[in-house]
Amino acid sequence: MKRNGILNAELSGALATLGHTDLLMVVDAGFPIPREAHRVDLALAENLPDLRTVLGLIADELIVEGVVRAEDVPSNNPRLDAWLRDRFADAEFTTRPHADMLGELARQAKVIVRTGAFEPWGNIGLLCGVDVPRWFGGEGVIVPDYYASKL
């Protein structure tokens, strides 16, 4: 039996397929997931599981270099925005129009994880990164300027 981390076999397997620059979306219960998307549906009931729990567990397993959220989040759901900034403190944050989150971004996602969240603008994109010290910490390796601050 797996000792810790994400126990859901489908979610654990989907996370293992992700590489640098891949996009994973963690979305609320009402998100219109495209038919062709790799959907991992965790929703059981209202707020089960909730968005923050799922994002937190995923954050413990992935290196996230970018967080994408609807442009409405900072102004209309500031508690979610503050939580995201705290949980993903080393990531670069960007915003997109809500319609882009539901359409264009969803079509670009390699995996979409549906939660039971009833959370306004609770659709978050995570861009996968690399463990900079492990990749660029070797002797004689020149670290690109854009990663130097992460060493």
Identify the burial level of 17 via C-beta atoms within 10 angstroms of its C-beta, where 0-12 means exposed, 13-18 middle and 19 or more buried.
exposed
Whether 98 sits among the annotated catalytic residues: the reply is: no
- Confidence check: pLDDT of 137 > 90: no
Q: Which of 13, 20, 21, 151 is catalytic?
A: 20
Dump pLDDT digits (tens) for 77-126.
999 999 999 999 999 999 999 999 999 999 999 999 999 999 999 999 99
Name, in order, each residue with C-beta under 8 angstroms of 117's C-beta and a sequence gap of 6 or more: 27, 28, 29, 47, 49, 50, 51, 54
Whether 114 and 41 have beta carbons less than 8 Å apart is answered as yes
Distance (Å, whole) CA 22 – CA 128: 5
Which runs of E-coded beta strand occur in the chain? 23-27, 39-41, 64-70, 92-96, 111-114, 124-128
Dump pLDDT digits (tens) for 1-51.
788 899 999 999 999 999 999 999 999 999 999 999 999 999 999 999 999
Q: Which pTM was predicted?
A: 0.93
